[in-house]
């Protein structure tokens, strides 16, 4: 089959405003496989568009119309949750319905593709300018990646002859040497309290690849830093410790530099980011979801908590996304200036942090991203357990089932 034909065979719609999607001939019933309703249509509804099945104001499904035209598909349709913003429909490649695709393998595929990524294109926006760190550290990172900090080798290029070599080991001091290959740096990174990097070691040979991998390492829970990310603070402190050694002759232990980085990161976070916890509970058999969230201020005092529930929810991920959307609406009503969001859904957090698409929750993601623009700064963190919000979510699920 030629490329175009293969492509056309796999194209389906993610419903946004439903305009231009033909109910009977386009694939729009599923975000993961090609599926269109099986007719036959009547003379009256043969030209029906998906937009005709949505309420023009809320963009929620019009159940009366669905029951009139597509009664057998009501359940299926209600599992689709379009954005309330009436965004444009998206035409996407839907994996083959042959069974090769499963939700799990789909996520894995997304993760694999994004991790290997395009090594030449450094993502400045997300790896430097959107990091939740103070501007002085953003500018430091930018300088590091532009070979614009005064290490020995760069001073040599400019004709400055003093102190070209590393004060710690005597080798030529380059940026990769200082931050990665110097024995002191090796020892430093072996002791940092960060989760192991999941990536291809071969791709780490390039300094910018090494750097982006460091930025993505998750701080381990006992630290109390659950915000992204610790690595910039570590790099910054490695640099300031080097300057103290070069200019003042003061040497610090690896452990001391790490403790200082952690303390600074924590203090900055406490001062700058509000806290919010969200969670969802989903019951597979009943396909129902309960959403719970808690909003706290920096001191940990509860500002607001809430829960809700919904029927026709296709997965736990959808519940988590709906919970986040609800919580953001609440935070908007509270006029909170900034937010730090914690969720125990790693897929959702990664999707938001990386700016990925995920067909299954396309519409809700659009709403979340739109609401997120109201807060500055806003950041997202994965926490393995979210027990308070979790019990709220379960409580609302119980009420829904009763």
How many residues form the binding site for Zn ion (CB under 5 A)? 4
Strands 275-283 and 90-93: unpaired
* 182 is an interface residue for Zn ion by CB under 5 A: yes
Closest to Zn ion by CB, 166 or 234:
166
293, 380 contact by CB (below 8 A):
no
- Residue 259 CB, shortest distance to Zn ion, in Å, is 22
Closest to Zn ion by CB, 169 or 251:
169
Strands 275-283 and 339-343: parallel
* 397 is an interface residue for Zn ion by CB under 5 A: no
Residue indicated by tokens 């035209």: 69
Residue 53 is encoded by which pair of tokens?
């099945």
Closest to Zn ion by CB, 245 or 395:
245
Closest to Zn ion by CB, 173 or 390:
173
Q: What Å distances lie between residue 83 and 16, 46, 59, 231, CA to CA?
A: 6, 26, 7, 35
Of the candidate spans 38-46, 168-176, 193-201, 379-387, the one that interacts with Zn ion by CB under 5 A turns out to be 168-176
Of the candidate spans 126-134, 163-171, 302-310, 313-321, the one that interacts with Zn ion by CB under 5 A turns out to be 163-171
Give the whole-angstrom CA distance, residue 44 versus residue 323. Answer: 39
* 218 is an interface residue for Zn ion by CB under 5 A: no
Site string for Zn ion, 125-154 (x = CB under 5 A): ------------------------------
CB-hemisphere CA count at 13 Å for 357?
A: 11
Of positions 6, 7, 160, 169, contacts Zn ion by CB under 5 A: 169
Burial call 242-277: b when 16+ CB within 10 Å, e when fewer: beebbeeeeebebeebbebbbebbbebbeebbbbbb
Residue 396 is encoded by which pair of tokens?
């609302």
- Residue 165 CB, shortest distance to Zn ion, in Å, is 8
* 167 is an interface residue for Zn ion by CB under 5 A: no
* 241 is an interface residue for Zn ion by CB under 5 A: no
* 175 is an interface residue for Zn ion by CB under 5 A: no
Give the whole-angstrom CA distance, residue 161 versus residue 152. Answer: 9
- Residue 176 CB, shortest distance to Zn ion, in Å, is 11
Give a three-class secondary structure readout of 185-245.
Answer: HHHHHHHCCECCCCCCHHHHHCHHHHHHHHHCCCECHHHCCCCCCCHHHHHHHHHHHHHHH
Of the candidate spans 128-136, 169-177, 378-386, 387-395, the one that interacts with Zn ion by CB under 5 A turns out to be 169-177
Of positions 130, 168, 369, 394, contacts Zn ion by CB under 5 A: 168
Closest to Zn ion by CB, 169 or 302:
169
Of the candidate spans 103-111, 158-166, 361-369, 386-394, the one that interacts with Zn ion by CB under 5 A turns out to be 158-166
DSSP secondary structure of 329-348: HHHHHTT-S-EEEEES-HHH
Of positions 21, 50, 151, 166, contacts Zn ion by CB under 5 A: 166
Distance of CA 155 to the CA centre of its chain: 39
* 254 is an interface residue for Zn ion by CB under 5 A: no
Q: Using CB under 5 A as the criterion, which residues of the chain lie in contact with Zn ion when the complex forms?
A: 166, 168-169, 182
């Amino acid at each position: 089959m030629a490329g175009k034909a293969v492509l056309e065979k796999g194209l389906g719609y993610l419903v946004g405003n439903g305009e231009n999607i033909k109910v009977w001939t386009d694939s729009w019933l599923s975000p993961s496989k090609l599926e269109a309703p099986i007719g036959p249509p009547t003379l009256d509804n043969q030209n029906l568009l998906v937009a005709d099945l949505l309420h023009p104001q809320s963009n929620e499904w019009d159940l009366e119309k669905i029951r009139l035209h597509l009664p057998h598909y009501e359940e299926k349709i209600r599992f689709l949750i379009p954005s309330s913003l009436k965004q444009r429909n998206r035409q996407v490649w839907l994996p083959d319905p042959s069974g090769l695709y499963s939700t799990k393998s789909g996520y894995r595929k997304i993760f694999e593709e994004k991790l290997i990524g395009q090594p030449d294109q450094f993502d400045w926006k997300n790896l430097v300018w959107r990091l939740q760190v103070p501007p002085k550290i953003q500018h430091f990172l930018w300088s590091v990646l532009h070979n614009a900090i005064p290490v020995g080798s760069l001073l040599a290029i400019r004709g400055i002859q003093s102190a070209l070599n590393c004060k710690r080991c005597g080798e030529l001091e380059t940026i990769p040497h200082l931050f990665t290959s110097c024995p002191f740096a090796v020892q430093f990174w072996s002791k940092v309290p960060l989760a192991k990097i999941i990536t291809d070691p071969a791709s780490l040979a390039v300094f910018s690849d090494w750097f982006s991998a460091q930025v993505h390492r998750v701080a381990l829970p006992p630290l109390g830093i659950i915000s992204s990310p610790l690595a910039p603070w570590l790099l910054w402190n490695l640099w300031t410790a080097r300057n103290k050694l070069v200019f003042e002759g003061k040497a610090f232990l690896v452990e001391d530099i790490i403790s200082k980085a952690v303390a600074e990161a924590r203090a900055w976070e406490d001062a700058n980011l509000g806290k919010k916890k969200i969670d969802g509970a989903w019951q597979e058999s009943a396909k129902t979801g309960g959403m719970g969230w808690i909003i706290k201020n920096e001191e940990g005092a509860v500002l607001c908590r809430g829960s809700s529930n919904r029927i026709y929810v296709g997965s736990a991920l959808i519940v988590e996304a709906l919970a986040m959307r609800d919580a953001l609406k609440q935070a908007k009503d509270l006029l909170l200036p900034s937010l730090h969001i914690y969720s125990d859904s790693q897929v959702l957090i990664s999707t938001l942090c990386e700016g990925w698409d995920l067909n299954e929750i396309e519409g809700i993601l659009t709403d979340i991203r739109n609401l997120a623009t109201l807060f500055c700064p806003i950041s997202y963190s994965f926490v393995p357990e979210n027990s308070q919000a979790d019990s709220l979510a379960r409580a609302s699920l119980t009420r829904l089932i009763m």
